[in-house]
């Protein structure tokens, strides 16, 4: 891929930038360097490397899903200032 002034101006237009001629020259040099680094990555032989889903190698860092001690319904409702003991729900002020 050749990086010429037309390409830089097209990319600048797509990015809604208006670079000066000096900035255009600098952007061209930077883009050539970036593309050169990417081309170096293409030289790597990755045939024997398995694809990764996660870069860190850690797949699941969540705790196991196990139930623990909890309040039963009567204890939870006993702590509420206004609760319907028979229906088993909390009464709260109207929100809307």
Q: Could you list the beta-strand ranges (E) of the chain.
A: 83-84, 89-90
pLDDT at 96 over 90: no
pLDDT at 14 over 90: yes
Q: What is the mean pLDDT of residues 13-26?
A: 94
**pTM of the shown model:** 0.49
- 9: Cβ contacts below 8 Å, ≥ 6 apart: 24
pLDDT tens digit sequence for 33-82: 999 999 999 899 988 988 877 777 777 778 888 888 888 888 888 878 88
Q: How far apart are the first and last CA of the chain?
A: 60
- Which domains occur in the chain, in start order? 5-42 (1.10.20)
User: Which two structure tokens, joined as six digits, stand for 61?
Assistant: 């860092």
Q: What own/partner pairs with CB < 8 Å and gap ≥ 24 does 12-19 have?
A: none
């Amino acid at each position: 891929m050749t990086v010429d002034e037309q390409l830089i101006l097209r990319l600048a237009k797509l990015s809604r930038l208006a670079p000066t001629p000096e900035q255009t020259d600098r952007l061209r040099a930077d883009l050539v360097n970036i593309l050169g680094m990417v081309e170096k990555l293409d030289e790597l032989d990755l045939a024997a490397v398995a694809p990764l889903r996660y870069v860190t190698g850690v797949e699941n860092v969540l705790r196991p899903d196990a139930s623990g001690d909890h309040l039963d319904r009567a204890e939870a409702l006993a702590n509420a200032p206004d609760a319907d003991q028979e229906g088993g729900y909390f009464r709260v002020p109207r929100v809307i």
